[in-house]
Amino acid sequence: MTQSRKQREIAKRHTLFLEIGKRILEEEGFHVLSMERIAELAEYSKGTVYQHFTCKEEILIQLCIEAMTQLLTLFKRAVNMEGSTRDHLVGIFFAQQRWARLGQNRAEMLQHLSMHGVKDKITEHSLLKHNQLEQTIFGLVKNVVDQAIKDGDLQKQKHMQPEETVFGLWSLCTGGQVLQSSDLPLKKFGVDSPDLTLLRTLVLVLDGLGWQPMHNETQFKNLLKRLDAELTLEYEITDN
């Protein structure tokens, strides 16, 4: 009992630190995230923060894991929606875009994680959890492709395994986020709505694959409308 109360307190503080870390990350970016800053804002001492996280990279990955878990949830909802396998894939892309807009720097967080010298500092445990999540998400998308082949919506490609198709889509999606989160003047480049453009590029890939059933413009617009309505994710209210 007593034990458990203590544990709850610790967990609460853990969340508090993460929360503060998230705020800093979203408002100002990883480069100003510091342990002392978190300690100060949380009104604890540095040492206490270090009892929860071995380094700031560890905070980063835990936030990434949280974010990726949300992404997975959204993806699951996308593939469970009414519709064709093709719709599901568009849904997944759409979900990813929604997700990236929750909080400012969702996409940038993952970026940081992937940079040289970051993963080295991270706990074995967190890294494992992260990798598993990554695999699960990859698997979920691959399932859609597999399903499409099984259903006959998609011809098995001669020169591209399902995994490779997923990798291509993943690249498109990631690249889109990266370009958007870098402060390119996309408007000046003539790209008014990058997310929509990415969705349309996705459609081009699907067309290229001959993925049935094709959409006409009206159907596509309707699909987007449906996704917009159904794939919402309120900014999570954390107060356990």
Partner DNA sequence: TCAAAAAATGACGTTACGTCAAAATATGGC
Partner DNA sequence: GCCATATTTTGACGTAACGTCATTTTTTGA
Which residue, chain included where needed, has tokens 């480049």?
189
HSE-up of residue 23 (Cα within 13 Å, Cβ side): 11
- The Cα–Cα gap between 17 and 22 comes to 8
Q: Assess 119 for contact with DNA (CB under 7 A).
A: no
Q: Which of a second copy, DNA, none does residue 213 bind to, with CB < 5 to 8 Å depending on kind?
A: none
Q: Which of residues 176-215 bind DNA (CB under 7 A)?
A: none
Number of residues located near DNA, criterion CB under 7 A: 24
Please report how close the Cβ of residue 205 comes to a second copy at its closest, in angstroms: 5
Q: Which of DNA, a second copy, none does residue 167 bind to, with CB < 5 to 8 Å depending on kind?
A: a second copy
Please report how close the Cβ of residue 2 comes to a second copy at its closest, in angstroms: 43
Q: Which of 99, 102, 105, 98 is nearest to 27 (CA)?
A: 105
Question: Which of the 8 DSSP states describes residue 121?
Answer: G
Q: Which of DNA, a second copy, none does residue 143 bind to, with CB < 5 to 8 Å depending on kind?
A: none
Tell me which stretch binds DNA (CB under 7 A): 53-61, 125-133, 189-197, 212-220.
53-61
- The Cα–Cα gap between 189 and 94 comes to 23
Closest to a second copy by CB, 16 or 179: 179
- The Cα–Cα gap between 92 and 75 comes to 5
Q: Which of DNA, a second copy, none does residue 228 bind to, with CB < 5 to 8 Å depending on kind?
A: none
Please report how close the Cβ of residue 122 comes to DNA at its closest, in angstroms: 10
CB environment 121-160: b (16+ within 10 A), e (fewer): ebbeebbebbeebeeebeebbbebbbebbeeebbeeeeee
Element of type H or E holding 127: helix 124-151
Closest to a second copy by CB, 81 or 102: 102
Binding positions for DNA, rule: CB under 7 A: 2-3, 5-6, 10, 13, 32-37, 44-48, 50-51, 54-57, 121
